[in-house]
Structure 1
Amino acid sequence: MFGTAVLRSQVNNQSQVKSAFMFQKHVILISASILLGACATPQNTLLVEDELARLDTKIGGLEISLAERFESVCSNNLAQIERDLSTRLKVDLTKKLAEAEKAASRVKRDLKDLRAQCNTETLDDKLLLGAVEDVTFIDEEITLEARIDSGAETSSVGVYALTQFERDGKGWVRYKLVNLKKAPWLEHRIRDDVRIKSRVEGFTDERYEIRMDIKVGSKVYRRQVFNLANRKNFDYQALLGRSFLRDVAIVDVSVEHQLKRKRSGK
């Protein structure tokens, strides 16, 4: 904008000068015409015509000089404008580049801090779990793959050869976690019996609830409620539902075995 204003000013000045010369030329011609009319002698006429020719030649030279000067001034101004714009652009680009580098540095630092926070087993004392995790049943001395399902209210574990019996007037269950003849029998006191409606088949299944001690990652959770189910048609023998996950874990369903990934640094 500054360079354009200067150029416009130069053009206006040159136009004014040229107009002044043209005005003077017209005045001289008019004056000469008046003189010729007043002094209409052959000798005077020749003198006036010679003077007019001389003045016309002089004015023509001035016009050429003015045009050349005008062109020179315009060229110089354009060159200066280009230099000024180039300098300003370089300064602006340098500032923008420095700001972008600072912003990129902040983003890298924030990402590094975020990775450091996420590269731990817990977030704000909560487990970071994937869609599938290993769960160790402490008393039973067995580790099973469990589906992490926040859509299910209670946790469950698949058992084999389940039978119910009484001991000291209390209800108990006997079962196996491995479907082998030599697998150990396990016994637990019944906490409750519940009715579970299948979201897929739609039927209602009556199950026994017991309390079990489990280990997830490096943490031990005592007396967690599990219902005993026939999970032979499911992909995973165990399931952790909302009753366990609530206030305990955050689930990232996009990955599996998140705890193993963190321990291995992946």
Structure 2
Amino acid sequence: MFLKRTAIITFTSLFLAAGCISVSSHEEALQIQNTLDERANKITELEASLTELQTDAEKNKSELEATKANLEKAQKEKAALEQQLRKKSASSKKVTATTASKKTNTSDKTVLGQTEWIYVAKAKESFRARIDTGAATSSINAVDIQEFERDGKDWVKFNITHDENGEAEILEARVVRYVKIIQSSDPDQINRRPVIELLVRIGGVSHKSEFTLTDRQHMDYAVLIGRSFIQDVIVVDVSKDYIYPKYQPQDEK
């Protein structure tokens, strides 16, 4: 009887022990599975974070390259502007120096109005003259022009009188050259005009200059003064007329 009870107790103990082992293994498995799930979730989160960091890195790299390119462009533009500024500054200094030089030289020049009296030494008479900076060569009234030869040279004889009712005043002069004049009204018509050299005086300026002979009877002024006469020695003030009176030879001492 005792042996039977002992056997029963032993069997029951073994059964209970086996049950405890089974329950404990199941809980551990659940814990491991939970830990595994947590690790899996963590890996997923880390992978997502890694992908985001990689995307940000690529974006930052692109922004860095763009910034670098913009910086290089700005530096080149700055260098170009600095060079342009240096050129402008040098040009400005040159213009200022030229202007200062012109101002200095202007004080040594004779100032004429847009109209003046001009004294022609050969005619011993003064005529009204218009100063025209647009004309290259000066011209003087001449009618009844007659060409002839003297000592193998071309000469002309002409009437310089500007007043149709005035007494004719005949002058003779050697021809220095001829010019061809194309009429604006008729381009096919070309006039050949003689050019002579005359000693003339306006104000304080007296020298020889070339004059084209042309009929100016229908014009207000017997003489037109062009750039060949005024260049380098005369400044024109178009707001004034007849700054100087008629020249009188007896005024000279």
Tell me the TM-score normalized by structure 1.
0.48
Tell me the TM-score normalized by structure 2.
0.50
